Amino acid sequence: MVTPPDVYVPSAPWRRFTFRWWLAAGIGAALLVGCVLVCAAALLVVIIQPPAPTPITVIDAGTAYQIDTYALTVADVLRELNLRLAEGDVLSQGEDTALESGQVITIQRARTVVVTDDDQDREFRTLFTNPLDILKSAGVELAAADRVWVDGTETTLSNMLIWPVPATRITVRRAMPVHISDADQLITVETTLDTVGEALFEAGITLYLADTVTPDVHTPVTRDMTVTITRSQPVSIEADGVTLTTRTQGETVADALAAAQVGLAGLDYAIPDETSPLIPGMTIRVIRVTEQIIPNQETIPYETIYQADPNAELDQITVLQAGQNGVLQANTRQRLENGIVVSETPESAVVLLEPVNEIISYGTNVVIRTVDTPEGPREYWRVLRLYATSYHPAALGGDNITATGRVLTKGIVAIDPRLIPYGTEIYVEGYGVGLAADTGATRHSTRWIDLGYDDENWVSWSRNVTAYILTPVPAEINYFPPG
């Protein structure tokens, strides 16, 4: 092949260099565009990603709702939960309050309460539950004589202070002044009742059949009305646990009793007596008298006789004769006046069964015997069965001084000194000889012994043991030790 002379043909190395430069430039441009696209996508994700919901607690009249919400204000979250506020309801935060994470919103619900004040009904909503608080919020003030019903139950001011349940209906009836002229006495009372008769009864004024009331007892009460009572001549009769106030035209006590149909029988009598003239306002007491014979069986206690037996050993007790109580039959005449015993008169007494005395023999012969101990034979004169425990200074909080002033160590024992006197030597098998030099807390039995130790050598005891009371024999022996 022939190459025209005017055409330039580059050599192979130059062609390779030119191709790689353009390739690198293309790759770089592609990378730059890719980075821009990735950054734009990331920025777009950040911009359009929604915020996290806010955790909120709403407590509506004790019922709690816990939600995660995108609401911005208190009002928004109430709408989201479909919770509406009624008149009188109280919200713990304002409705425009912005929500915060963990916020607690409380709704106190008002209740509908009806207050009736002298037949005028008022209905309103309130958060109060106590009757007095409700009346105060309603502007209702009570006078001392006013009557109040809470949910149908009549109550007092003091009881309303501690009313146990929420009140729903409160009724107030206002007291009205009424002037009462009773004989020579003029009084004014406050009443909430309907008629003159009810007002007089409430005031504690007793009317008798012959009395005259003006206006009539059935007349409705009006404010500041005057009621006049014209009294007949009164007589009071106390009979059979009842006080009867009546009127009579008679002249003697007997006439008054007959008019009241109160009779006297048997031993009954009246004070003043039946022939006494009547005095206006006098009181006649009727005394009902009965008599009865009361048979009583009384116990004649037997006596216990103790007999010393020098031939029997110490602590040997024998019941020679069992005791038996006797029986005494005693009759008494009782006089009762109005059911109360006023006198008792012995009628007769008979011994139905003679008592038999108990005879107990006890031994006084002290016999000296010996017991083998680790230190050799020791003489003893009495044997007691005791419950043994043990103690040491550490168990007493470090106190190592006994009741007799000795140092607590092995060989010191605590006892009840009523059973074993201080200074007595005692031998207990497994423990050895101990000196009674201490006492412990009060126990239900005197038959115990507390074996002393020092802290280093303490051994726990909790069992019954035989205790040998060692010689010498004391000058005075208690033949009946306690327990």
Q: Which fold has domain 54-108?
A: Ubiquitin-like (UB roll) (3.10.20)
Q: Which of 121-125, 265-269, 466-470 has the lowest mean pLDDT?
A: 121-125
**Fold equal for 54-108 and 176-230:** yes
Q: Is 100 a residue whose pLDDT tops 90?
A: no
Q: What is the pLDDT of residue 325?
A: 95
Q: How many whole angstroms separate alpha carbon 94 and alpha carbon 110? A: 17
Burial (CB < 10 A; 0-12, 13-18, 19+), residue 169, is middle
Amino acid at 359: I
pLDDT band with cut points at 50, 70 and 90 for residue 11: very low
Q: Is 83 a residue whose pLDDT tops 80?
A: yes
CB within 8 A of 171, min separation 6: which ones? 115, 116, 148, 149
Q: What is the pLDDT of residue 377?
A: 96
Q: How many whole angstroms separate alpha carbon 307 and alpha carbon 291? A: 50
Residues of the chain with pLDDT > 70, as a percent, come to 90
Q: What is the pLDDT of residue 173?
A: 83
Q: Is 4 a residue whose pLDDT tops 50?
A: no
Q: Which of 94-108, 375-389, 408-422 has the lowest mean pLDDT?
A: 94-108
Q: From residue 131, give the alpha-carbon distance in Å to each of 111, 144, 201, 301.
A: 13, 16, 29, 67
Phi/psi region, residue 152 (left: phi>0; alpha: psi -120 to 50; beta: rest), is: left
Domain boundaries, the chain: 54-108, 111-173, 176-230, 235-284, 292-362, 367-470
The CATH class of the 111-173 domain is alpha beta
Q: Which fold has domain 367-470?
A: Barwin-like endoglucanases (2.40.40)
| Type and span of the H or E element at 254 | helix 253-259
What secondary structure letter does DSSP report for 253? H
pLDDT per residue as tens digits for the range 41-68? 555 544 556 678 999 999 988 899 899 8
Q: Strand 340-353 and strand 54-60: pairing? A: unpaired
58: its two tokens: 């709403």
Task: State pTM to two decimals.
Answer: 0.40
Interior angle at CA 108, CA 105 and CA 110, nearest 5 = 155
Q: Is 208 a residue whose pLDDT tops 90?
A: no
What SS3 state is found at 208?
coil
Domain 292-362 has CATH 2.20.230.10: yes
pLDDT band with cut points at 50, 70 and 90 for residue 289: very high
pLDDT per residue as tens digits for the range 323-350? 999 999 989 999 999 989 999 899 888 9
- The DSSP result for 212-276, as a single string, is EEES-TTSBP-TTEEEEEE---EEEEEETTEEEEEE---SBHHHHHHHTT----TT-EEES-TTS
101: its two tokens: 């994470």
What SS3 state is found at 477?
coil
Tell which residue, 478, 406, 462, has the closest CA to residue 437: 406
Q: Is 360 a residue whose pLDDT tops 90?
A: yes
Tell which residue, 250, 249, 257, has the closest CA to residue 274: 257
368: its two tokens: 């000296």
Q: What is the pLDDT of residue 404?
A: 94
Q: What is the pLDDT of residue 41?
A: 53
Burial (CB < 10 A; 0-12, 13-18, 19+), residue 430, is exposed
Residue 477 phi/psi, 5-degree rounding, is -110, 130
Question: Which CATH number does 176-230 carry?
Answer: 3.10.20.90
Phi/psi region, residue 59 (left: phi>0; alpha: psi -120 to 50; beta: rest), is: beta
What secondary structure letter does DSSP report for 356? B
pLDDT per residue as tens digits for the range 415-474? 999 999 999 999 999 999 999 999 977 888 889 999 999 999 999 999 999 999 999 999
pLDDT band with cut points at 50, 70 and 90 for residue 3: very low
**C-beta separation of 81 from 67 below 8 A:** yes
Tell which residue, 460, 343, 309, 345, has the closest CA to residue 394: 460
Tell which residue, 174, 213, 172, has the closest CA to residue 191: 174
pLDDT band with cut points at 50, 70 and 90 for residue 175: confident
Q: Enumerate the β-bridge partners of residue 330.
A: 296, 349
pLDDT per residue as tens digits for the range 215-239? 999 999 988 899 988 777 789 999 9
Q: What is the pLDDT of residue 351?
A: 92
